[in-house]
Each structure stands twice: as C-alpha cells, then as structure tokens.
Amino acid sequence: MNSEINSYKQPSQTLQKWVKVVTHFLCLGIIFILPEVLVSRSFPAGSGIPWGMYAKSLLFVAVFYINYYIIIDYCLGRRRWVLRLTGLNVVIIIVTLLCAYFLMDMHSGEMPRRVPRHVDAHADLLRRVSFLMRDVVMAILTVALSVAMKLSDYWVKLNRQRQEMEMVQHKEELESLKKQLNPHFLFNTLNSIYALIAISPDKAQQAVHELSQLLRYVLYENSPTVPIQDELTFIDNYVKLMKLRIGDKMPINVTLDSGDCNDCHIAPLLFISPVENAFKYGNTGRSGDSIDISIVCREGSIHCHIANNFIDSEKRDIASSGIGNVNLRRRLDLIYGNKAEMSTKIDGDRYIVDMIITL
C-alpha cells in the first residue's frame, strides 16, 4: 500500500521541488538582486565593484531565508503566532536596516559622487528619508513574500498528506468491502452445492471442483486490478457452477466478450454480486422466465447488463436493497468515481441491473 502511494506521488513531489527551486531563484533575483544591480550600473565606469549594493541585497536575502526556515516554523502553531511573527520581524528589519546603512556609509565613502559635495541639508535629508522608506518597504515585502511562500508550502504539504490519508482510507475500505463480499459469495455457493448433493452427487463433486477454482481467484487475487479476461473467466466459471444446480429448468443467456479491451485491467469481483442475485432470486421455476447476463467491452468501456425474473415483490425488494448492491455501489464510487455508472430498474416482473465503466 505504501509503495503504491509512493509510486503515485513521486513524480508530483519531484516536480514540486523543481518548481520551488525555480520560484525561489526568480523571486530573489528579480526582487532583491536585480534592482540593486541596475542601480549600481548607473555609477560611472571604472569606479570599482559597488560591493555595498550587493551586500545590502544579501542582507535582504538573509531576512527572507531567516523567516522562511526559522521564524515562521517557530511561530506557527503557537499561541498568538501572528504577534510573535510580527515582533520578531520588526527586530530583524531594524537590525537589517542598521547594517545596511552602515555598509552604505562605508560604500559611499569609497564611491565617486556624480553630484557636488555641497548639497542643501534639507534636500540631503529628504534623499536619505526616501532611501530609508524604500528599504523599509523592501524589507516588509521581503518578509511578506517569505511568509506567503512558506504558507503555500504548508498548504501543499497538508494537501498531499490529506490525499495520502484518503488513499489509505479508500484502500482500507475497499479491503473491508472485499472481505464482506467473500463470505457472502462463499455461503451462497455452498448452499447451491448442498442442494445439489441430494439431487446428483456426481454433479456435486464437479461443483466442488468448480468452487475450488473460484475460491482460488477470490481468496488469492490481491492485486488492485486484474485483466478483463480473468474477470470474465471467473464469471463464466460461476455461471457453469450455477447451471449444474439449475440444470435445464430455465434458459440462461450469457454473453461474455472482452472485445477490443483485451489489454485493459479492471478491479476484481465487480460483477459477481448482481450475478449472484440473478441466480438467487431469478430461479423462479416458471416457464418462460430466464436469466440474462451480458458483459461486453467495446470502445474502452465495459457494459454490463443483468436481468432476472421475480416471483413476488418481497424478493425484489431484498435484492435491490441487499448488502451486495450497497457494497458494489460503494466500490464503484471509490475506484472509478464518475467514470462508473450503475442503475437498477424494474420492468414488469423483471429486475434489471446496468453498469457502464469507462476504463
């Protein structure tokens, strides 16, 4: 079960890792490094590498990753986590700006100026305030971006865990439904053989042999899907077993054709419940009654049609609301979702089950 989940999730996780790396690279490059590089290129050629500009960019990158890997993980899940997150980031932003301006003062002392040194004090103050506001806004955007990306990662992780939990729950529910099906199938078949012993011991012996083949398929077929031909062979063997009990009392019309879907697979034991019910409730003993079983594959879909007669409405109600049909509907919903349809209807004294499964 775990290997199925891992094999299903591995490509998606690998893609998410690459997307994460590319996203980090683009965000850091465009928002933090590129603006400072463009500003540095505006200075005269030959003035040297403006290391102060790049150092300030690295400070913002550090703020991003300190939030991403330390602060957000520390705050999330704690009481008043928003207040904690805000307080810690205020401290980090203040420290970052102080370091940035210390580096910029060192840088400005080494860098040739394009403007006269004798600048109006008021204009110089406005320039410094504008730079300060720009850096404050950049620091806030840095924190906001790190929080947004971290929360996005948390959302993806939680969504993946939810999907894995649903897969495990579906797997366990399917196993439970299959375990309910096995005793139901076994008891019905044993009752048929028990009735056959008194009538024809030879046929009963042959029926036991047929039952052993059926049980081998039911009990030891643990894979989530089987070739369609194997499932049709199982239904054919079950019909042969029922014919041994019924004999020539009523016509049984069977059509099993894998058609153009020989290479397709299907969940095991999907058709046995309505087929069982057809023999259990459809053996009326009246002339003219029949059991019709048709499972045909064509154009990537399986069409199943099963019809039988009823003696009275009580048996009809039991068949339509029994545990077999309830389990079958649930299995179809878990395995195929909206790719499977099952309908039951009553036409006179005939009960009809139709299923269509898109492979």
In-domain check, residue 174: no
Of 139, 165, 191, the last residue of a domain is: 165
Average pLDDT over every residue of 301-329: 74
Q: Are residues 104 and 206 in the same domain?
A: no
In-domain check, residue 256: yes
| Higher per-residue pLDDT: 303 or 25 | 303
**CA–CA separation, 335 vs 182, rounded Å?**
18
Q: Is the pLDDT of residue 12 over 80?
A: no
pLDDT band at 124 (very low <50, low <70, confident <90, very high): low
Q: Is the pLDDT of residue 346 over 90?
A: no
pLDDT digits (tens, 9 = 90+) for 59-85: 888 888 888 888 888 888 778 888 888
In-domain check, residue 183: no
Q: Are residues 258 and 344 in the same domain?
A: yes
pLDDT of residue 36: 58
Domain count, the chain: 2
Q: Are residues 239 and 289 in the same domain?
A: yes
CATH of the domain at 245: 3.30.565.10
pLDDT band at 54 (very low <50, low <70, confident <90, very high): low
**What number of residues does the chain have?**
359
pLDDT band at 318 (very low <50, low <70, confident <90, very high): low
Q: Are residues 85 and 233 in the same domain?
A: no
Q: Are residues 232 and 114 in the same domain?
A: no
Q: Are residues 154 and 270 in the same domain?
A: no
Q: Which of 256-260, 280-284, 354-358 has the lowest mean pLDDT?
A: 280-284
In-domain check, residue 189: no
Q: Are residues 153 and 224 in the same domain?
A: no
In-domain check, residue 295: yes
Q: Is the pLDDT of residue 341 over 90?
A: yes
Q: What is the rounded average pLDDT for all residues in the chain? A: 76
pLDDT of residue 291: 93
Q: Is the pLDDT of residue 29 over 60?
A: yes
pLDDT of residue 250: 85
Query: Domain of 312?
Result: 200-358
**CA–CA separation, 8 vs 18, rounded Å?**
18
Q: Are residues 345 and 218 in the same domain?
A: yes
Q: Are residues 111 and 243 in the same domain?
A: no
pLDDT digits (tens, 9 = 90+) for 166-182: 776 666 665 665 555 55
Strand order in the sheet with 291-298: 252-257, 291-298, 301-309, 350-358, 340-347
Q: Is the pLDDT of residue 149 over 70?
A: yes
Q: Are residues 15 and 105 in the same domain?
A: yes
Q: Report the 10 Å Cβ neighbour count for 185.
A: 20
Q: Which of 74-83, 188-197, 335-344 has the lowest mean pLDDT?
A: 188-197
Q: Is the pLDDT of residue 206 over 70?
A: yes
pLDDT of residue 115: 46
pLDDT band at 137 (very low <50, low <70, confident <90, very high): confident
pLDDT of residue 302: 93
Q: What is the pTM of this model?
A: 0.54
User: What are the tokens at 72?
Assistant: 């957000």
pLDDT of residue 256: 94
| Higher per-residue pLDDT: 348 or 314 | 348
In-domain check, residue 13: yes
Q: Is the pLDDT of residue 216 over 60?
A: yes
In-domain check, residue 286: yes
Q: Is the pLDDT of residue 108 over 90?
A: no
Average pLDDT over every residue of 133-150: 83
pLDDT of residue 40: 57
Q: Could you tell me which of 158, 26, 147 has the C-alpha nearest to residue 89?
A: 147
pLDDT of residue 158: 81
Q: Are residues 73 and 212 in the same domain?
A: no
**CA–CA separation, 271 vs 256, rounded Å?**
12
Q: Are residues 153 and 15 in the same domain?
A: yes
In-domain check, residue 294: yes
Of 165, 189, 208, the last residue of a domain is: 165
